[in-house]
Structure 1
Amino acid sequence: MPFAIFLYDPHDELTVRGEVQLLATRLKNKGKHVRVLSLAEVMQEALELALGKDGLKEFYDAERENGVEAAILTVYQILSHEWPLDKLVAERLHALDPANSIAFLTRAEALFPVYRTSALLDRLVNERVQVPTVLFYPGTLEGVNGLRFMGVLEAEHNYRARIY
């Protein structure tokens, strides 16, 4: 399984973003092909594909009127069924050569509280992603391998990827 998780405090999000870019540059200078993939951008694309640009504006207006719970359910349905997040991510990763490439999945905080990253990694395994991939995970460690997404949600203990 070519996945690793880099755990960091959610309060360090902006610092980590900058460090990821610096690391990507260093790896590129060593001859690696690095793909930094923002999960926030992929989620935005899925919403635009499902709702259209005009529909997306209406969706945000409806969220203000109807509350966040209905919006969370809608986004979950889109990312899980209509335009599955794992398939959109896998499409981008399948284009990479596993021998000379590495992928960094960033901006996972944008998925909170709609979509769990444990589900994303499990589904990427099912999509047969072969390129080494690092998920930059905002959260806290509980026990040996329990991760609390954003330090808030109940710890998930089913991560098979190595946690750093």
Structure 2
Amino acid sequence: MKAASVKDLKKELEQRSPYELVALCLRLSKFKKETKELLSYLLFEADDETAYILRIQEEMAAQFAEINTKSSIYIKKGIGKILRQVKTSIRYSGKKETEVELLLFFCAQLKAFRPSIKKITVLQNLYDRQLERIRKVIPMLHEDLQYDYGVELERL
């Protein structure tokens, strides 16, 4: 089955009643975990971005504490899993400020992680890529935020 274009979907959704739209959203949320998470973000957390960022940061800190440090393979897998979840959270928000905040926190956690990531080349490269991503996003922000985040970035 070929998927319809966004334009066609928009036209069709505009013609539906509010009751039908609710039914469609609920049906969509049953199929994919990501769809359900996005719908939860839009309904419950999009209004308070600061609380959303703090919640994600708390989850991230807890996940860093739970990483198995017995082997570098477990460390890589654990950090990769955390980064995937952070990127998903960034996609849900769609705001550049949230992206910078979460990536800065991720990099700070990664830098403070023991054993040091400097001994594991893959993790050092991952850290460097995230710093570069932050550098690319900062110029898109308001001037005051650019300065504040620039200072935080230099600390890392």
Give the number of the structure whose alpha-carbon radius of gyration is greater. 2
Q: So what's the TM-score if we normalise by structure 1?
A: 0.36
More helix per residue? 2
Question: Could you say which structure has the higher strand fraction?
Answer: 1
Identify the structure with bigger relative contact order (alpha carbons < 8 Å, sequence gap 6+). 1
